[in-house]
Amino acid sequence: MKLIGKHIEKDHSGYVNLRPEEDEDMWHLYNLIQEGDQVRAPAIRRVQNVSATGSTDSHRVRVTLTLQVSRIDFSPSSSSQSASAPTSAPASTSTDPTSSSTTSANVTASLQISGRVTSENPHVKMGAYHTLDIEVNRDVRIIKDEWDSIALARVEESCVPGRGAEVAAVVCGEGTAAFVLLSQHMTIVRQRIDVTIPRKASPTLHEKGLLKFYSTLYASFLRHIPYSSPSIRAIVIASPGWVRDAVFDYIMKEASRTGNKALMRARDKFVRVHINSPHVHSLVEVLKSPEIATQLKETKFAREGIMLDKFFKMLGSDEMRAWYGPEHVRLATERGAVGTLLISDQLFRASDPIERKKYVALVESVQEKAGEVLIFSSMHESGQQLNQLTGIAAILTFPLDVEIVEAEEKESKEEEERKKRAAEEGDDEEASGGG
C-alpha cells in the first residue's frame, strides 16, 4: 500500500489517500473503512444521452465519486482463502484428463463499497445509490469524522515499505499439494494441484504417477513460491508420512540438474515438518512446531500463534491468569492485570461506532499500562480460533479469581447506586425545605 496523502485535524477528523497494490491491501482497506465513513474513488458509470430527435445513446464513462458508506463487501480471491476454510472450492479449475491433474486458477481479491453519492457530479445525481469496485493501483480517499488510534496504526503498518510474505509453504499429501504464502495478515493459497496416482498394485503405473506428481509440483513451485525473495524467511514443506522428504529431495535434484543456482542457494530456508492431514488448515500445527517457532519468532503471525497456544495451555493449567470475553477482559484491564491482550480485528469492524470505541479504549488502556497488544487477523487460522473464543482474551501478569472480581464489581456498582439515591433524596429534602 502507498500513502498518497493524509490530513488529520486536531479533533481527529480528516482523510487519508491510499493506493492499494495487492490482495493484502484490499484486506487492510476492508478493516479501515466503516459504515458512515465517506469514500472517494474512481468508478465506471453507464450514461444515457437523449438527442433532439429522441434517440438515446448509451455509453460508459469513468467518473470519480464520493459515497457515504452503507455497506462493505470483501471477497478473498479463490487463491486467497483463509487457512481455516480448507474445504472451500476454488472459483474455477482447469483439468487435464490425460494427466488426471487439477490446478486452481488465480483470481484477485475484490472490495466493494456501497452507499449514496455525497458530492456533485455531472453524470450522477446527489443521493443516488452506487457501488464502487475498489481496484489495485487506483487511489482511494477515506474520510472519517474520527480517526482513532487503531485505524491510524493500521494505515501506518500497511504502508511500511518491503512488506510481503514471510513464509512460503507447500502442504502436500500423496498426489495433492497446496502452495501457500503467509503474510502478516493473510494466508494466501496461490495454487492447488491434484494428480491421480495409481495404487501400488501396479508398480510401473504407480511410479509413473509419482513422477508426474513431482514434476507438476516442481513446475508449480517455481511459478508460485518466491524462493529467492529476501523477505521469505522459511519455505515449509509439510505433509503426513514420507511425502515431504520425497518432495524436498526432488526439488533439490531438479534444481541441481537444471542449474537453478537461486533455488540451490535457498536450500537453508527449507524446513520439513510433519502434519496430521494434508490440508491448509494444518499450517497452524506447523507454526507451533519448534523448527518453525525458532526461525519465525519475530514475525507477527508466528507470535500470535505462539501466544494463543500459551493462552490455551494456561486456560487448562492456570485459569486464574487466562481470561476471555469482553466483560471479563475489561475487569482484568481495570485492575492492571493484563500482560498480553489478544484481540481479533473482527471486533473493530463493528457497525456500531460505540462498540468499536469500547474496544479501542480497551487496547489503549492496556498499552498505557505497558501491556502487550496482539491484534489477530481473521484471515489466519489463529484469528479464526480466537473468534470462536469471543474474539478477545488476555494473559494476566498475576492471578485473579473471576468470582471475587465480579462480586467486587457488583458491590461497587451497588455502592454507587446507594450514593446516587442518597444524593437524590438529599436534593429532594432541600427542595421541600426551601419551599
**Amino acid of residue 259:** G
Answer yes or no: is pLDDT of 90 > 60. no
Residue pLDDT, tens place only, 194-213 = 998 888 777 788 889 999 99
Scored b (16 or more CB within 10 A) or e, 60-72 reads eeebebbbbbeeb
Residue pLDDT, tens place only, 17-75 = 999 988 889 999 999 999 999 999 988 777 776 666 666 777 778 889 999 999 999 98
Following DSSP, what letter does each residue of 238-296 receive, concatenated? EESTTHHHHHHHHHHHHHHHHT-HHHHHGGGGEEEEE-SSSSGGGHHHHHHSHHHHHHT
Closest CA to 176 of 159, 188, 193: 193
| Residue 70 to residue 35: CA distance in whole angstroms | 5
| Confidence category of residue 421, pLDDT binned at 50, 70, 90 | confident
Scored b (16 or more CB within 10 A) or e, 201-223 reads eeeeeeeebbebbbebbbebbee
| Residue 91 to residue 75: CA distance in whole angstroms | 11
Portion of the chain with pLDDT greater than 70, in percent = 86
Helix ranges, 274-391 (H): 283-288, 290-295, 300-317, 326-334, 353-368, 381-387
Give me the residue label for grid cell 480485528.
Answer: 345
| Confidence category of residue 218, pLDDT binned at 50, 70, 90 | very high
Residue pLDDT, tens place only, 100-117 = 555 554 556 789 999 999
Residue pLDDT, tens place only, 170-189 = 999 989 999 998 887 888 88
Are the CB atoms for 145 and 102 separated by under 8 Å?
A: no
Architecture label for domain 308-400: 2-Layer Sandwich (3.30)
CA dist 334 → 318, 391, 408 (Å): 20, 19, 12
Q: What are the cell numbers at 324?
A: 476471555
Closest CA to 351 of 35, 29, 32: 35
Other CB atoms within a 10 A radius of the CB of residue 308 amount to 24
- Region of 379 (left: φ > 0; alpha: ψ -120 to 50; beta: rest) is alpha
| Residue 113 to residue 133: CA distance in whole angstroms | 7
Q: Are strands 2-8 and 14-19 parallel, antiparallel or unpaired?
A: antiparallel
Answer yes or no: is pLDDT of 266 > 90. yes
Architecture label for domain 167-296: 2-Layer Sandwich (3.30)
Domain residue limits, the chain: 2-84+107-158, 167-296, 308-400
Portion of the chain with pLDDT greater than 90, in percent = 52
Q: Which CATH class is domain 2-84+107-158?
A: mainly beta
Q: Which long-range contacts (CB under 8 A, 24 or more apart) does 346-351 make?
A: 346/378, 346/383, 346/387, 346/391, 347/391, 347/392, 348/31, 348/150, 348/375, 349/30, 349/31, 349/34, 351/34, 351/35
> Region 308-317: what's the mean pLDDT?
93
Q: Report the predicted TM-score, pTM, of the whole model to 2 decimal places.
A: 0.75
Q: Are strands 167-173 and 234-239 parallel, antiparallel or unpaired?
A: parallel
